Structures are given as structure tokens and as C-alpha cells.
Amino acid sequence: MDAIHIRGGNALFGETKIQGSKNAVLPVMAAALLIQDVCIIENCPRISDVYHMQQLLESIGCRVGWAESTLTIDARNISHDTMSGDNVTGMRSSITLLGAMLGRTGEVTMAYPGGCVIGERPIDMHLNALRKMGVAIYEKEGCFTARTEKKMEGTVIRFPISSVGATENVILAGVMAKGVTVLQNAAKEPEIVTLCEFLRDAGAVIEGIGGSVLIIQGGHGLHGIKFRIPADRIVAGTYLFSVIGTGGNIFLEDAPTAQMRSMIQAAEEIGAQIHVTSEGIHVIADEHRRAVPYLKTEIYPGFPTDMQSPLMAVLTTAQGVSVIEEAIFEDRFHIIGQLEKMGACIEQQGKRQAVVIGVDSLLGCEVTARELRGGAGLVIAGCMALGETVVKNRHFIERGYEDICRDYRNLGADIRTG
């Protein structure tokens, strides 16, 4: 059965090592397409999204192999330029292969990407930016073809709003384009920094890494490298908020503390004690959780939209009234109805705001995950609840967590798949 069974009520104790970043490894895998050599990528999370990307790379001729958490990508021979099927339509991150394929072969046909049901995420910015670089786009039902009649040319591109995916595509195209690409209002998320560092280590010339303006000098030869993926800040945040909800204290080994300031601030506001070290984060839960009067999701370095559902689960039993504003995606409150089945008191005000009124406890029942981070939030709620909780649609959660049941069991939770 595609479900997770949890018997709640156990406080969490111990330590867990944080896996490699999902949001960082996927664009790095796409970037390996640009390199006619072998790349060795360490600390890769074994999650379904990575396996989907692996299958896409293999479908166009790459050789990909695993050795524990190390992924080897041999992109010396590319034999196809068409990508379709569930690996594209079921994973939003497949769109990063657009810029990579244009940089490598000059042409690609692909189905429109899919992913979670959390709101509209159109690819217009991706396509418009690539058009400015000389790419012709031919759209038809269900798919599109992108083609360069001659080599892509660097230009000045300014995004109307910051977009992680569109930033990644321009970077991937720009490192192979002729001349200089200046990208203004670029996304500053850690995964963008990781992608730039990977390409820079492979021979690309990129200035302004970590800022909102990137200057990419195209046309430099790239070579194979060994590269390590940083730890996943969203997984670390999930476990951080879990112990706040259940009680106890845990150590998050390798947690990327510098990327988690907004999460740590929210955790301390709820009442947790946070001790940051060079090895990770020690979290000590307070017996009484405080409400968060107002929290708004924002682009990095603000509070991440991916952490909104796990936070909401914790706030269901906080003392007082919390207000959450979702500023990134307009349809990311699917978890509310499921938490209400467990006894939560939440008032949704439009598509962007939710008022969480703390209750004494949640009660276990059968709930359904509709997307990745909402599913993680339901697992947290199940660990907090009295009685048994069954979280259906486990496959959504497996898109981003290597083995969430293993990690929670190691911390003392009564949890299993089934």
C-alpha cells in the first residue's frame, strides 16, 4: 500500500544525518549534460525525483551509475534530443534540461513539465529568455521544440519576478552561448549558488554568484569534475519542526545552518532552543509551543514556501493564534482540510492566508497527501497526534525524502510504510 502508518505521541530524541539537497542535485545533473566528459557527484539523495532525472539522462544517451550516494554521469555521447513520458510530465525540474540540451545539441523536443499541485508555475519566463538568446520555440499540444539556427548569443535578460527554474535555464544556456549574458533579478536560492559553483569548477566563468545579477561569459570549455552536493535545508527544516511539534531534543548532523536562518528564527519564536555548531543544529523543544502572530513565505533568504506546510502542522497545537501568508504559490493550502480531519482549527482566508487557532491535541485518522511538502507536514502531524494516523500517497513524500520512516524511527517515532 502506498501509505505511511504512524502511532503518534512519542517525543523525538537522538540524531540524524541530513541527506543531500534535492533542489541542488537536479540542476547539477542537468548541467552535467553540457560536459563531454565524466562527472562524479557525491552526496546525492536517493529519492524518486533523482531517479526520474537519471532516467531522462539515460533516455538521451548518457551513462549513469550509482555507488552508494555517489552518482557518475558520462555525457560524452548524446544520441537523442526528444524527452517525453512520465519522467518529464511528472517532475517540474525536468524543465532545467531545456537550457542544458540547447547548450549541448542546439535542439530539444520535450513535453511540458509537471509536478506537484501547488499552483500555476508557467514556463513563459524560461521560453522568453531563451528567445532573447536566439532560440526559436515551436509550441504544439502537449510539447514544444526549441532550436537554435546558429549558436546562442549572450544578451541582457531581466526577469519581471525572481524565478529559480528560469534562472537555472539561463545559466545553463549562457555558459555555452557566444559572448556575455547578464541576468538581472536572478534567483539567489542556495541551489542557484550550487549550480554556479559546479559549472565554475568545471571551467565556466560566472561572476556575481549569490547575488541578484549574474554575469556569464559563454563559450569556455568545460571538463569533468568531482563535486559534492550540500545538505538539504528543507529536509533539515522538516526534522527541526518535527521535534518542536512532538517534544524532545535532536541533533541534525550536517544541517546547512547558514541557509536556515529564517527557519531557526521561526523555531525560536515558537519557543525552541536552538544551538548551532560547525557540525549541525541541536534542537530542544519547549513543552509549551507559542503561536507565531504572523509569518509570510518569501523568496530566499526569507521563510521558504516549502516549509509552510510543516510549520502549519506544528502550529495546530501552539498556544494562541498564528497567521500564515503564502506569497509564493497561490494554491499551497491543500493540507488544511487534512489537518482539520485530525482536529485542527484553521480558517483559510482566500488563497493566500490561513489563520491557525491552537488546539490541545490532534487525533490520528486517515489523511491524504496531495504534494511533497504537504505530505511531510502530515507525517509531522501524525507524529504529534494521539492514536494512529495513515498518510496515503506516500509516493509524493518519496520525491524529496530518502527514507523518512527510517529517519523518524531512528529518532524514536513509531512509524512504518504499508
Dist CA 319 CA 340 (whole Å):
17
Last residue of a domain, one of 204, 228, 252: 228
CA-based nearest residue to 27, from 90, 102, 112, 99: 99
> Do 145 and 53 share a domain, yes or no?
yes
> Do 8 and 31 share a domain, yes or no?
no
Instruction: Cis check for the bond before 301: say yes or no (omega within 30 of 0).
Output: yes
Dist CA 327 CA 316 (whole Å):
20
> Do 8 and 83 share a domain, yes or no?
no
Residues 6+ apart with CB under 8 A from 189: 23, 164, 299, 300
Last residue of a domain, one of 181, 197, 228: 228
Residues 6+ apart with CB under 8 A from 258: none
- Residue 94 has a pLDDT of 87
> Do 96 and 35 share a domain, yes or no?
yes
> Do 153 and 297 share a domain, yes or no?
no
Dist CA 354 CA 315 (whole Å):
11
> Do 114 and 182 share a domain, yes or no?
yes
Residues of the chain with pLDDT under 50: 117-119
> Do 184 and 247 share a domain, yes or no?
no
pTM of the model: 0.95
Specify the residue for cell string 482539520. Answer: 340
Dist CA 207 CA 213 (whole Å):
8
- Structurally, how many domains does the chain consist of? 2
Specify the residue for cell string 536517493. Answer: 46
In the chain, % helix, strand, coil (3-state, to 5) comes to 35, 30, 35
Last residue of a domain, one of 228, 243, 274: 228
Just list the catalytic residues: 116
> Do 395 and 411 share a domain, yes or no?
yes
> Do 168 and 245 share a domain, yes or no?
no
- Residue 268 has a pLDDT of 98
For residue 167 the three cell numbers come to: 534562472
> Do 26 and 78 share a domain, yes or no?
yes
The per-residue pLDDT for range 82-122, each reduced to its tens digit, is 887 776 776 777 889 999 999 999 999 988 886 554 445 57
Residues 6+ apart with CB under 8 A from 344: 316, 336, 356, 359, 362, 381
> Do 164 and 298 share a domain, yes or no?
no
CATH of the domain at 326: 3.65.10.10
- Residue 378 has a pLDDT of 98
- Domain of residue 100, residue span: 22-228
> Do 334 and 357 share a domain, yes or no?
yes
Task: Report percent pLDDT > 70 for the chain.
Answer: 98
Find the largest Cα–Cα distance for the chain.
Answer: 65
